[in-house]
Structure 1
Amino acid sequence: MLREVTAVRYVTPLREGGSMPGLVAADDHRLYALKWSGAAQGRKALVAEVLAGELARGLGLPVPELVRIDLDPVLARSEPEQQIQEQIRASGGVNVGLAFLSGAFNFDPLCFEVDPEQAARVLWFDALIGNVDRSWRNPNLLVVDGRLQLIDHGASLIFHHHWAGAARWTRRPYDAGDHALRRFAGDLAAADAELAGRATPGLLAAAAEAIPEEFLLDEPGFADPAAVRAAYVDQLLARLAGPRDWLPVLPPHSPEATA
């Protein structure tokens, strides 16, 4: 389960990404980048954010702490821009926040070197969840004290937008052509051997359990939130079941992979 906090002050919009997250102060005296439940992307972007983020953490990948943030729409009165005011008012109740990392800067693949093993692990993880939002144009990676942090996974797990065809997604190849870490990635087969074994049913179930129940209510075709959680776990287990031919193929020790 995610730790619960309450937003006590709206600070400023973070003018990046389609949902334009907001920086808020919470009752634990910390700052969070709040992902709005009332944003145009809808609650499924937050479901993907939580499930993918907690799964990455369980696999040993670096992700800022994710929390459940309760928001009072009255905080909209401190925002002068009407469009953002409306988004805040539409997001009353449960939202998702990522711990704000002071001093972090956006990753630039032309200015920052990445350990080949770590790059391969991230690439493997993105292939597993079908993350289409880690391109060199928009890496969704932060650098803190010389170390990467993975953020913004709301565009992954796209099968949940059409559950009727979800089974086909489990074998869908992952296109890593413009992945931000492609040129750094080392042995993807070694990453597969390491991480596939860690992605146990228990780990997947724990990640699914972290999704706030409010985001899973009234999902068409499912009896209750427990059934939706189980469906996410089943989807990922089916994708992990061999052969994992959805993994991209990188030429070993090629100039592109090591330069």
Structure 2
Amino acid sequence: MTVRLAVVGCGLIGQRRARVARAVGDRVVVVADVDAARAEAVASENQCEWTADWQEAVRREDVEVVVVSTTNNALAPVTLAALRQGKHVLCEKPLGRNATEAAAMVQAAVSAGRLLKTGFNHRHHPAIARAYDLCVAGAIGSLMFVRAIYGHGGRPGYEREWRANPELCGGGELLDQGVHILDLCRWFMGDFSEAFALTGTWGWDLGRVSQEQAAALGLEPGYQLEDNAFALLRTASGTVAQFHTSWTQWKNRFTFEVYGRDGYLAIDGLGGSYGPERLQVGK
């Protein structure tokens, strides 16, 4: 069955989602972006219509699924509108700038009886998916702990990009790459009953949360977006996850290690600039 979709947000991720949809036989009906020239260019590639008005895109009766790949501040408004129009939604991570926005989207999906998925694409990396299957099959016994590192060094001008703007992003590295690690930890281990984290800003002159932004973002006034985050989490059964995410890693790095009573699974690399993707199984 061919799925008809709209893509709202025509940046790198939106472009990739549109290409994948076409590759599997689905149809991109319309793309939307506040940058009309970019929307037009992506529409040309996908042989579809375009608009600079995202509300027009989500209202279309010939659209079944909306892919929301905007900056974080627009994730909730677009997703909520699409769900209320009866569309299924793939919303890119982090599913809003905070728990309040995310909860509103989940409730809207339940009320509308529509699917809402988050773009946690790391679950689909071959090494990670294989590690999960082995873990579920009991290959390493009952879990004890997980530890992970994920980071990069940014690029010249990173402090001027949208990720450095509290209003647009709602958080720093913890909300950017850290949310992928958190998702993987929950996937392998289940929900956590305890959480402790430390954040710091050492390498980049990132934005600070204003008095006016604080309430909407759920952050303290004056908080500077973090370029490093360290987290320690524990499940009700006692298994522990520890991870560090960083925008000052300098050399791109991804490691995700799962330790059980009978062995371990160690994933290194994600392909591309993060190096070849490898899975080691050991005892």
Name the TM-score, length of structure 2 as normaliser.
Answer: 0.23
| Bigger relative contact order, structure 1 or 2 (CA pairs below 8 A, ≥6 apart) | 1
Name the TM-score, length of structure 1 as normaliser.
Answer: 0.25
